[in-house]
């Protein structure tokens, strides 16, 4: 689906885009790749407003003043949720074909593959004009776990 220059992202095994997030990306002129870049290399991470969500922020254009302090005029925020998903049927068939050595090994490998993948559900994407206040920073232990998933 395209509207003007905007191309709607496709859902993959790694990312699921809600209609809300696609609409907000159109509204603010953001691409799917930009939202993914914010998720991968954020400057700040906080607890999301919705239950079991995380919000990450990246400033748009960082400038350094005379004192060496970084400043920016707007931020891009992405709110997402991580959850386990099952593989598609084609991946399961490929897995069955490649591991035909012994039935028990193939079954165990199939079970591990079915429930091991995490998918990021992109709930919302937005631009914030100015510098947002720090609200609910996430503890460092949880940050390490989130970093391992991404």
pLDDT in tens, 31-71: 999 999 999 999 999 888 888 899 999 999 888 989 988 88
Question: Which pTM does this prediction carry?
Answer: 0.69
- CB within 8 Å of 42: residues ≥ 6 apart: 56, 57, 58
pLDDT in tens, 96-124: 455 445 555 655 555 554 445 689 999 99
User: Which of the pair, 140 or 121, is modelled with greater confidence?
Assistant: 121
Parallel/antiparallel/unpaired status of strands 118-129 and 15-17:
parallel
Backbone angles phi, psi at 99, to 5 degrees: -115, 60
Q: Could you tell me which of 97, 63, 57 has the C-alpha nearest to residue 77?
A: 57
Give 8-84+118-130's CATH code, choosing from 3.30.1490, 3.15.10, 3.50.40, 3.30.2310.
Answer: 3.30.2310
**C-alpha 75: how far from chain center:** 16
Give the separation between CA 90 and CA 97, rounded to whole angstroms. Answer: 11
pLDDT of residue 99: 46
Task: Provide the residue ranges of all domains of the chain, joining segments of one domain with +.
Answer: 8-84+118-130
* Residue 28 pLDDT > 60: yes
């Amino acid at each position: 689906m395209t509207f003007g220059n905007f191309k709607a992202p496709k859902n993959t095994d790694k990312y699921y885009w809600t209609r809300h997030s696609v609409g907000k990306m159109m509204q603010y002129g953001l691409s799917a790749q930009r939202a993914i870049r914010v998720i991968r290399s954020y400057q700040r991470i906080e607890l999301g407003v919705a239950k079991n969500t995380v919000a990450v922020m990246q400033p748009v254009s960082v400038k350094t003043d005379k004192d060496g302090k970084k400043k920016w005029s707007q931020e891009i925020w992405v709110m997402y949720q991580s959850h386990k998903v099952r593989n598609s049927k084609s991946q399961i068939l490929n897995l069955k074909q490649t591991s035909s050595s012994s039935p028990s090994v193939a079954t165990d490998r199939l079970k591990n593959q079915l429930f091991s993948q995490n998918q990021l559900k992109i709930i919302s994407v937005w631009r914030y004009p100015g510098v947002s206040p720090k609200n609910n920073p996430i503890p460092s232990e949880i940050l390490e776990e989130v970093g391992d998933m991404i």
